[in-house]
Amino acid sequence: MDTNKWNEEAETWSENPDLQMKEEDAQMDFELRRASLEDAAVPDADEAFEQFKAERLGKPERRALGVRLWAVAAVAACLALAVFLPWNRWLSPSSPVAEVSSAINIPGTVVYEAPAPMGDIALTVGDKTINLHSNDARKQGFSVSQDQMIQFLSPENVSPEDRTTLTIPQGKTAKLQLPDGTKVWLSACSRLIFPQKFLEHAPREVRLIGEAYFEVAHDEARPFIVHSGKVSTTVLGTQFNIRSFEGEQPRITLVSGSVRVSNSTNVGARREVTLVPGQQAVLGANNSLLVEEADVEGVLSWKNGAFYFEGQTLREILTEIGRWYNLNVIFITNQHLDDSLHYNADRSWKIQQVVSQLNNICETHIKIENNSLVVDE
């Protein structure tokens, strides 16, 4: 595989924030399921929060929270009302995405600018974009199983230099199985680039822009390498999450097994670390790799259909929400940019409900204006 060519293409993609795609005129179908709060009895907040964690995040107990615990009651009561909503969002035909205007005409600090909306999951083989459910896709080795897994089998007579790109739009997620058996869950506004064929006696290499969870099929002779931004993650067979959006420092979280994370951008910095389950590697401000303890269930909340924030800043929370709903994020003043919150929500909620619950726990006010989330106090 031509690594230089691969890197040149990646630099071109990275200049385009959050995967602004060619299909700029595509219209998004954003019929949403309504989680109604009208005429509903308010459940016990503590019980609702525990049920949320058990249902969505898989653990009944958590460590003590060091951030605004008073916020939990306000949010958890509402979470319980939506606890039985359908959760199959993989390749879902609708997504909670608004169409954004091409220009931002609201004064203030723009912390996130939404790209042009996409119509659906995009499959690009070489230079050609094809419909995932078409005969062309099947000829290229793609099919969609009954459980909505995108399956890819390398067609015959293809070169490892031929690459395929799977791009996930705002408000959607998808899961993919590669020919070697590796499974990849892709978050919204993410892109996975992989060769049409893995070589027999060479590493299996893919490139990620955005966020994905990997379950790598074990192959002692062929390590699996994920290139994401300035970081490469090497495994033989394990489970881990990578978050590497434009403008954010890459973050690799290990769920099981072992991974080696390397960085070659700064000769004087720490260039390689090995993680054990429950740890994450973060590329620091000086391009040095840092190892931290990870809140694994929080990291994987996107995969389970939830927003889960534990002590993140209002800037980070609204950026994630803006990315999912395809809305700009603007702070009229910078006073509350770094306020930290504990907040949980269902990704199937309408944006109005998400904003309403945030306003219940914030020291500022958030409104929806001109396809933007505006913090105006």
Q: For strand 150-152 and strand 142-144, is the pairing parallel, antiparallel, or unpaired?
A: antiparallel
Residue 182: Cβ-neighbour burial (10 angstroms; 0-12, 13-18, 19+): buried
What is the residue type of 297?
A: E
Give the per-residue pLDDT at 64. 32
* Whole-angstrom distance, CA of residue 208 vs CA of residue 77: 37
Report yes or no: 266 and 22 within 8 Å, Cβ to Cβ. no
Q: For the chain, which ranges sit under pLDDT 70? A: 1-103, 264-270
* Whole-angstrom distance, CA of residue 305 vs CA of residue 127: 32
- DSSP β-bridge partners for residue 306: 346
Please report the sign of the dihedral spanned by the C-alpha atoms of residue 289, residue 295, residue 296, residue 300: negative
* Whole-angstrom distance, CA of residue 238 vs CA of residue 217: 7
Give the per-residue pLDDT at 269. 60
Report the candidate in 254, 257, 255, 290 with the shortest Cα–Cα distance to residue 271. 290
Give the per-residue pLDDT at 13. 44
- DSSP β-bridge partners for residue 242: 212, 252
Give the model confidence (pLDDT) of 195-248 as tens digits: 988 988 899 999 999 999 999 999 999 999 999 988 999 998 899 999 999 888
Give the per-residue pLDDT at 15. 42
Residue 202 three-state SS: coil
What is the residue type of 59?
A: K
Residue keyed to tokens 């609708």: 94
Give the model confidence (pLDDT) of 313-347 as tens digits: 999 999 999 999 999 999 998 889 999 999 999 99
The one-character DSSP state at 145 is -
Give the per-residue pLDDT at 34. 30
Give the per-residue pLDDT at 345. 95
What is the residue type of 307?
A: F
* Whole-angstrom distance, CA of residue 99 vs CA of residue 370: 10
Give the per-residue pLDDT at 77. 38
* Whole-angstrom distance, CA of residue 171 vs CA of residue 325: 6
Between the alpha carbon of residue 40 and those of residues 37, 81, 231, the distances in Å are 6, 8, 48
Residue keyed to tokens 């070169």: 159
Global pTM value: 0.75
Tokens at 31, concatenated: 């019929």
Helix intervals (H) in 53-106: 70-81
What is the residue type of 37?
A: L
Give the per-residue pLDDT at 285. 73
DSSP letters, 276-336, are -TTEEEEE-TTS-EEEEE--HHHHTGGGGTEEEEEEEEHHHHHHHHHHHHT-EEEESSSTT
Please report the sign of the dihedral spanned by the C-alpha atoms of residue 91, residue 219, residue 125, residue 113: positive
